Every structure is written in structure tokens, then in C-alpha cells.
């Protein structure tokens, strides 16, 4: 496990090393859109004209995921006219990584000058209207990760007032879904640390708190990206109904299977967002 003081010189140097390695292999235009591909959604990369694809293990200090279904690549290329950076294989708090390593790729994107970040993830549906395979635009989140190390990003009051999810970018995504005739739910994402799926009682609590979805990622990166003034939006794929919302047992295999069967729709939708509708 890598340990470094989040704001310390040692950490900054590690980010700088990673950025230097990327720059030594490819240019990264300033209008690049970064897209994080969640569990099982990595096939989107096949739609991109690739300039350079790094295994995460090649990039100095880049934390490498341990969960199956997370590819572990950072790819630079274009989708139509738009330069894109794809992040596959983020690491999670539930694997034991400290926050600063979960957000390491955000620090890299920032140093590369990237200003737009679209995250995707898989999530459990708490809202009983949500079905397995639905896509949901995250409008807001509840941070149930109890992660004090995230406080390094919490010092700026601005974040609370404006909201974490960029209105314009979210509207682009919402409009694209309408035009593509894809049902896009909207909701509040509860970020939990995991690694266990929730109990029925926990889901009842999250529901009472106003959550529509639950998942184990996204919140740290969204907070970090906002801290760095990036425009952020996030879309969840509902891979299962949360515990107690359906009586089915949950497994990581089911999450992967649902991601696989919703993939075509998801990839087409994401391509339309970036290629056709994102004018800035
Ligand atoms: N709970 C937490 N995280 C998840 C779930 C869930 O039900 N499904 C996919 N990620």
C-alpha cells in the first residue's frame, strides 16, 4: 500500500511523475473530456480512435485495481472530433486504498489541464421505480463513506453552495437521452464504503434519507474534481435492486452480467453525449 501525505511534496511529486510519463507518450489537448468507465463498462473504449493506451500498471505510482471486471487502463484518443481520456479500473475505498489514491487519477487529469469529467458507475436501485438495466443521471449525492481523509477537499465553502454536479453538463446528458429515446432516471446517489452489500435496514435508512441509488464509488472523485474546478456529471447503471427492494441475493457476478447486457445501450448513449451534443 502506498502512503503519502495528501498535500505533501511526496504526493505532488508522484502526481507529477505520472503526468510526465503520460506527456512523454502523447499530447493531451485542453478540450479533452475524461470519462470514467465503471465496472464492466470498459468496452466503450472500442469506440475510440486510440492515440495511446496505458496499462495503469505502466504509469508511475498509479494504483492498480484488485476487483475483477475493472480493466486497469488509461486511454487517450478521439471520439469523432472530441479528444477523450478514458479511465478504466479506478480503485475503491473498500479495497483499502486511502482517499488520495482513489482520487489520484483526478489529480492527474487536473495536471493535464482536463476540465470536464463524466463518471459512470454501477449502482443498486433503492427507488422502487428503478429497474435493473436503467440508467440514472446523478443529480446529487449523500456521502455515507465516513471518510475523514476526504476533508482535504472539504475546505472550500463554494462546493456546498453550487452543488457537485454541473447543471449544464447534466442537461446535455439529459437532452441526449431524450433524443436517443433512452429512459434516463434522475436521482440521488448514496456513496457507501462497502465492501459488503447493504443490509435491508441500511437500505431502508438510505431510502428514508432520500437516496435513489447506492454504490461504493464516485463520491471521492466528484468531490476532488469539484475542488479542482472541473465540470462533473455522473451516470449510474442500475445493476440490481438494492437489498430488500428485491428479495434476490446480490453478487458481483450479477452486477457484471447486467453491465454486459446494458452495455450497447450505454455505449451508444455515451458516444452520442460526447460526439454530438457536447458543444464546449
Ligand atoms: N450496493 C452497493 N453498491 C453497489 C450495488 C449495491 O446494491 N450494486 C452495484 N454497486
Question: pLDDT digits over 137-191, tens only?
Answer: 999 999 999 887 676 776 565 566 678 999 999 999 999 999 989 999 999 999 9
- pLDDT given at position 165: 96
Q: Is the backbone of residue 147 left (phi > 0), alpha (psi -120 to 50) or beta?
A: beta
Question: Which of 128, 132, 142, 197 has the most ligand 1 atoms within 8 A of CB, as the residue to mutate?
Answer: 197
Check residues 98 and 260 and name the one with the higher pLDDT: 98
pLDDT (mean) for 55-72: 79
Q: Is residue 6 within 6 Å of ligand 1 at its C-beta?
A: no
Residues belonging to the chain: 280
Distance 32 CA to ligand 1 centre (A): 30
Using a 6 Å cutoff on CB, does residue 242 contact ligand 1? yes
The pTM score is: 0.92
Q: Is the CB of 144 under 6 A from ligand 1?
A: no
Write the DSSP string, 151-204. Answer: GGGTT-THHHHH-SS-HHHHHHHHHHHHHTT--EEEEEEEEE--SSPPPHHHHH
Between CA 225 and CA 175, with CA 220 as vertex, the angle to 5 degrees is 60
Q: Are 76 and 83 in contact (CB under 8 A)?
A: yes
Q: Is residue 266 scored above 80 in pLDDT?
A: yes
Amino acid at each position: 500500500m502506498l502512503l503519502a501525505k495528501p498535500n505533501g511534496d511526496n504526493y505532488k511529486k508522484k502526481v507529477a511523475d505520472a503526468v510526465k510519463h503520460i506527456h512523454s507518450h502523447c499530447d493531451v489537448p485542453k478540450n479533452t473530456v475524461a470519462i470514467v468507465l465503471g465496472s464492466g463498462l470498459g468496452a466503450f473504449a472500442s469506440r475510440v480512435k486510440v492515440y495511446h493506451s496505458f496499462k495503469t500498471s505502466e504509469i508511475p505510482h498509479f494504483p492498480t485495481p484488485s476487483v475483477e471486471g475493472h480493466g486497469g487502463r488509461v486511454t487517450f484518443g478521439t471520439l469523432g472530433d472530441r479528444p477523450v481520456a478514458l479511465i478504466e479500473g479506478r480503485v475503491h475505498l473498500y479495497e483499502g486504498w486511502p482517499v488520495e489514491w482513489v482520487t489520484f487519477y483526478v489529480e492527474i487529469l487536473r495536471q493535464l489541464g482536463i476540465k470536464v469529467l463524466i463518471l459512470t458507475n454501477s449502482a443498486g436501485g433503492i427507488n422502487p421505480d428503478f429497474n435493473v438495466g436503467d440508467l440514472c443521471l446523478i443529480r446529487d449525492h449523500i456521502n455515507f463513506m465516513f471518510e475523514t481523509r476526504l476533508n482535504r477537499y472539504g475546505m472550500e465553502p463554494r462546493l456546498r453552495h453550487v452543488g457537485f454536479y454541473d447543471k449544464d453538463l447534466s442537461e446535455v446528458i439529459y437532452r441526449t437521452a431524450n433524443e436517443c429515446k433512452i429512459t434516463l432516471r434522475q436521482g440521488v446517489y448514496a456513496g457507501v464504503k462497502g465492501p459488503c452489500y447493504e443490509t435491508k435496514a441500511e437500505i431502508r435508512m438510505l431510502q428514508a434519507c432520500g437516496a435513489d441509488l447506492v454504490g461504493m464509488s464516485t463520491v471521492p472523485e466528484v468531490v476532488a474534481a469539484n475542488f479542482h474546478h472541473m465540470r462533473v456529471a455522473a451516470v449510474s447503471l442500475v445493476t440490481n435492486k438494492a437489498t430488500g427492494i428485491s428479495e434476490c441475493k446480490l453478487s458481483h457476478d450479477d452486477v457484471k452480467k447486467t453491465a454486459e447486457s446494458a452495455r450497447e445501450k450505454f455505449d451508444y448513449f455515451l458516444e452520442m453525449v460526447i460526439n454530438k451534443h457536447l458543444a464546449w
